[in-house]
A and B are shown apart, each in its own frame.
Chain A
Amino acid sequence: MALTLLRGIRTPTLFRRNAGLFFTTIHPPLSSFTTRAESAQATESKAAPKSIQLATKEAAEHKKQGFEAVIGIETHVQLSTVTKAFCSCPYNYGSQPNSTVCPTCMGHPGTLPVLNAKVVECAVKLGLALNCEISMTSKFDRKQYFYPDLPKGYQISQFDIPIAKEGYLDLDLPVEFGGGHRRFGVTRVHIEEDAGKLLHSESGSYSQVDLNRAGVPLLEIVSEPDMRTGIEAAEYGAEIQRLVRYLGVSNGNMQEGSLRCDVNVSVRPVGQSKFGTKVEIKNMNSFSAINRAIDYEISRQIVLHKEGQADQIVQETRLWDESSQKTFTMRKKEGLADYRYFPEPDLPEVVLTSDYIDEIHKSMPELPEAKRRRYENMGLSMQDVLFLANDDNVARFFDSTLEHGADAKLAANWIMGDIAAYLKNEKLSIDEIKLTPLELSELIASIKNGTISGKIGKEILIELIAKGGTVKSVIEEKDLVQIADPAAIEAMVDQALADNPKQLEQYRAGKTKLQGFFAGQVMKASKGKANPVLLNKILGEKLNANS
């Protein structure tokens, strides 16, 4: 039931100025940011934090050219609460248009917002995770503008007193991008409600409004302008995604719009403290796109600077176009938008107690940064650390395997090797396979104590992943216990030598590589169960003794 809410109006010129691309974006007035970010960038910077080193190639490259980029990010996280922020409607991505709406989220006369307490809990969780100062008293404000997807003509948001402020986010850059630890400042986290969506007819002659998303709770996270390269910005976004998933406050899905990043990019000559004119980029739906869009935009701005056309860089919103791998102008900002913020009179202040915050603090899981530092201290390489800690499910599997006594390095190797390969091939996540952390630890132990060989181990692993069961039962069922009796191995070696006189002759003539051939023959005869160390020792003795 696609309810036509724009009842029969023809709007041929409605979106003309935005060309076709407007249709793919979410919401221009909502995400075009305001005085806050403006002032954040306009003020003199207190120089970049010391932790920012120019470790990445891109930054070094820009610096070589005499320029430095400054990047700030506004992230909208859609909370996965059961009901919307201010009414009791559910929200499910992809539902029939206007199927999860009520008079309140449709802005009918006389309806009033009632705050969903879960939203505050999520905000406090994320605020704490971002090392923010939590406001014991915060309030809601109205941000006012007209747009058909905004039912009330204003968005309930938080203006001068956000629920959390002045925090930071720690992350480790991927090794392939040069690695390095970073700390980026977080200006604020505030609560607001999402708007609906416009559905445009193919002919462009009319538009329809879907208000399912109207009133869905969002947290907006505003970063300090601390990033210098596309990869730093992308990793910041990825770390936010990890955090919200670790905390369980959002599914963090970019394709569904549950996590949206708008970035502000400016470029300035190295040594200049004043920021250059910033440009906002939207419409990136992956972290890789964020990385590429920013690097493209930085290059574009540097070129203009170098050509003496810095005045061509104007305050505007640009869209990232995936097909051409370029950004281009969506709309120029004509002065500052005036949203006429004022305190929302329909909602009382949000007053928190320290008990409430402590309670939430206690309930929080170990966060990615703490996890990475813990793994690092186990002696794992940064590559391993990042692989294990980046996915909450993987980290949980790994930790659980360690709890059952497995060696960290060995467990990491299994998870990152055979298990990861299997997951990749089968397009599964680690919590969808039948292998349990307990059995992985058993498997590692069985190899370590010589019950089975590593090769057999791999076979058992695949069996366990696909069918489940225990290491013990698979070993027994398939009779896979390693043959470690020297006499039995010796007998098999003798047999192999006797069966292959020609190769034996060649070996003795100097073709010592053939030791591998004999080992293979023995392995084959033992169905892979011969202890490889013993086998090689005995085989070597036999081959060389008779020479």
Chain B
Amino acid sequence: MPPPLQAQRLLLSHRRLAPSHRRLFTVVSSLPSAPTLATGAVPSSILSIRESLLSGERTAADITADYLSRLRRTEPSVRSFIHVADAAAEREAEELDRRIATGGREAVGPLAGVIFGVKDNLCTANMPSTGGSRILDGYRPAYDATAVRRLREADAIVVGKTNLDEFGMGSTTEGSGFQVTTNPWDDSRVPGGSSGGSASAVSARQCVVSLGSDTGGSVRQPASFCGVVGLKPTYGRVSRFGLMAYASSLVVVGCFGSSVIDTATILSVIAGHDKMDSTSSSHYVPDYKSELIPQDLLESKPLNGTRIGIIQETLGEGVETGVISSIKAAASHLEQLGSVVEEVSLPSFCLGLPAYYILASSEASSNLSRYDGIRYGRQISADDLNELYGGSRANSLGHEVKMRILMGTYALSAGYYDAYYKRAQQVRTLVKKSFNEALERYDILVSPAAPSAAYKIGEKINDPLAMYAGDIMTVNVNLAGLPALVVLCGFVEGGSAGLPVGLQMIGSPFSERASYDAAVNRLCLPDGFEASRIKFQDRFHGVY
């Protein structure tokens, strides 16, 4: 029986051999420079919606109609939604308008008129919730996931359910049981995954913000691929109730937005203890969006005193040079803003990936047992019980899901448990320890969010190990349960406008605020960002 460490070497060697990673990209700063937008041109979408709504400039119906029309226009190429709840969204918007008309601004919640997408592994009452799996085709839960409920209670409007790799297992959204989502920056490329639908929907402005879930990078990697802000909160920060479990000890509900302040706003609403989830934290929930460093202070070295560590192991072999240079450029930008940036080594970093895949698969093999076709979901007709189980699951679950169930079942089996599951837990403890030590010396650790920018659809679909290797930047953060924020920090060549590269900022538990401060909106974007962004807008969604 090979010890788990060998399995890890295998993964890494695949990663090194992947030819796609050998291609060199130049940093997009070489792209022709375009007129820079004025400071404050990337405002909070949520804030501007609120202002226009409450000033009477626009109605919730107008705002909803805008988003729905853009959604209808872009959806045929992006395919980020499995289910669009347009009629319900319009109804809710009209209801909001009525309340504003009769009760004024006090009558509506803080997120009134904010159109949001929900990753389809989060339950939404009376709306299809499939987890991207055919086995739940047609399933409509009776309840909202807590995160969804809290957004709805703040009067945000659900526009639909976004596509994902089946039950969150995958890094490209190609693993969906329903459709393949494309990257709005280049429709021949993947949006990343597993929350690919949520990332591409925000990127294409099909909605203002969206909810995702992050088990091993499922919010951060697609945020990086799609050039949006992606937040993975601390484990336990947001209730998991209503989130279809894949790996319970690793996953947290996260969110996407087009600005840092928008994700901060969403986090303030969805965070906090929930009596329906015993693993949710009762740690104090601050107003994450208040007192973020204002953009007009950017010249005054606002990050003075902040210690930032670049994780050495994330800038080595197997990482695209374009990604590395984007991160380094972002780092020097952070330095210019007053922070001290140093390289830091996390020796256990490369152990995380195999440990993650063992733990995640083990938990998945158990969590997915409930999809047996007995109480809900697809059921085949069969003559005996084993056939019923086998048939229902074999017909309706996808390859990747089956593979992980098998791997997890194996890892938990008598005689293998100690060598795999237990050993992986030990590695997890090591990873946690090394992150905690580093976070004693640094306020924030930074790294790329993924070793490459978005790759082509189909490129890794038959090479799961190469795909798993792409999670190297993110899985450790889940093992350690830390918060991390991904913001756009540069571009590499590709597509018509270049391909976005995300910077991952990792903080101590419950220090989401620190990452926000360091990110201060588009703080770390090098020159050339605006050029790409404008090109992207022109090509894709026109004005927004």
What is the interface of chain A, defined by CB distance below 8 A to chain B? 5-14, 35, 103, 106-115, 142, 144, 146, 148, 151-154, 209, 336, 338, 340-342, 345-348
Contact = CB atoms under 8 A, between A and B. Distances in A.
A112 B277 contact: yes
Nearest to A337: B414
Nearest to A340: B412
26 contacts: A9-B381, A9-B382, A10-B383, A14-B385, A106-B375, A108-B141, A109-B139, A109-B244, A110-B123, A110-B143, A110-B145, A110-B245, A111-B242, A112-B277, A114-B275, A114-B277, A144-B366, A146-B369, A152-B370, A153-B366, A340-B417, A342-B363, A345-B248, A346-B278, A348-B278, A348-B279
Interface string B384-403: 11001100000000000000
Q: Which of A114, A151, A346 has the most CB of B within 10 A?
A: A346
Contact of A9 (B143, B379, B414): B379
Interface of B: 121-123, 129, 131, 136, 139, 141-143, 145, 240-245, 247-249, 275-279, 362-363, 365-366, 368-372, 374-376, 379, 381-385, 388-389, 409, 412-414, 417, 421
A112 B412 CA distance: 22
Given A11-B384, A110-B141, A342-B362, A152 B376 contact: no
Contacts of B248: 345-346
Contacts of B277: 112, 114, 346
Secondary structure of the A side of the interface? loop
Contact of B369 (A7, A10, A11, A144): A144
A108 B136 CA distance: 11
Q: Which of A106, A209, A340 has the most CB of B within 10 A?
A: A340
Contacts of A209: 374-375
A226 B275 CA distance: 44
B385 A115 contact: no
B238 to A, nearest CB: 13
B278 A113 contact: yes
Given A5-B375, A14-B384, A153-B369, A112 B240 contact: yes
B122 A110 contact: yes
Contacts of B245: 109-110, 346
A109 B383 contact: no
Nearest to B240: A112
A526 B362 CA distance: 88
Nearest to B392: A9
Contacts of B389: 146
Contacts, number: 125
A143 to B, nearest CB: 10
Nearest to A346: B248
A5 B248 CA distance: 27
A98 to B, nearest CB: 10
A110 B381 contact: no
Contacts of A336: 414
A151 B375 contact: yes
Contacts of B383: 10-13
A517 B362 CA distance: 90
Contacts of B143: 103, 110
Contacts of A9: 379, 381-382, 388
Contacts of B375: 5, 106-108, 151, 209
Given A108-B376, A114-B276, A152 B141 contact: no
Contacts of A113: 278
Contacts of B121: 110
A340 B145 CA distance: 29
Contacts of A348: 278-279
Contacts of B409: 340
Contact of B421 (A146, A342, A346): A342
Contacts of B421: 342
Nearest to B244: A109
A109 B382 contact: no
A257 B368 CA distance: 30
B213 to A, nearest CB: 11
A146 B372 contact: yes
Contact of A153 (B141, B247, B370): B370
A154 B369 CA distance: 8
A184 to B, nearest CB: 30
Contacts of B369: 144, 146, 152-154
A275 B106 CA distance: 76
Q: Which 6 A-B pairs have the closest CB atoms?
A: A153-B369, A345-B249, A345-B248, A340-B412, A110-B242, A107-B370
A108 B245 CA distance: 11
A19 to B, nearest CB: 16
B100 to A, nearest CB: 33
A12 B376 CA distance: 22
A338 B381 CA distance: 28
B365 to A, nearest CB: 8
Contacts of B249: 345
Contacts of A11: 383-385, 388
A486 to B, nearest CB: 80
Nearest to A148: B374
Nearest to A87: B276
Given A144-B366, A345-B279, 17 more contacts: A6-B374, A13-B383, A14-B385, A108-B142, A109-B131, A109-B370, A110-B122, A111-B241, A114-B278, A148-B374, A152-B369, A152-B370, A153-B372, A154-B366, A340-B366, A340-B413, A345-B247
B243 A110 contact: yes
B129 A109 contact: yes
Nearest to A108: B141
B87 to A, nearest CB: 24
Nearest to B410: A340
B382 A110 contact: no
Contacts of B381: 8-10
B417 A342 contact: yes
Given A103-B142, A153-B366, A109 B123 contact: yes
Q: Which of A109, A110, A342 has the most CB of B within 10 A?
A: A109
Contacts of A148: 372, 374, 385
A185 B370 CA distance: 37
A348 B235 CA distance: 13
Contacts of A340: 365-366, 409, 412-414, 417
Given A109-B141, A336-B414, A7 B243 contact: no
B63 to A, nearest CB: 29
Given A110-B141, A110-B245, A151 B370 contact: yes
B19 to A, nearest CB: 38
Contacts of A345: 247-249, 279, 363
Contacts of B278: 112-115, 346-348
Contacts of B384: 11-14
Q: Which of A8, A9, A346 has the most CB of B within 10 A?
A: A9
Contacts of A13: 383-384
B263 to A, nearest CB: 22
Contacts of B122: 110
Given A10-B381, A146-B369, A148-B385, A342 B412 contact: yes
B141 to A, nearest CB: 6
A340 B364 CA distance: 13
B43 to A, nearest CB: 34
Nearest to B145: A110
A13 B384 CA distance: 6
A338 B412 CA distance: 9
A154 B245 CA distance: 14
Contacts of A153: 366, 368-370, 372
A153 B421 CA distance: 19
A12 B383 CA distance: 7
Nearest to A342: B412
A351 B376 CA distance: 36
Nearest to B123: A110
Contacts of B385: 11, 14, 148
Q: Which of A10, A12, A108 has the most CB of B within 10 A?
A: A108
Contacts of B275: 114
B414 A338 contact: yes
Q: Which of B131, B276, B368 has the most CB of A within 10 A?
A: B276
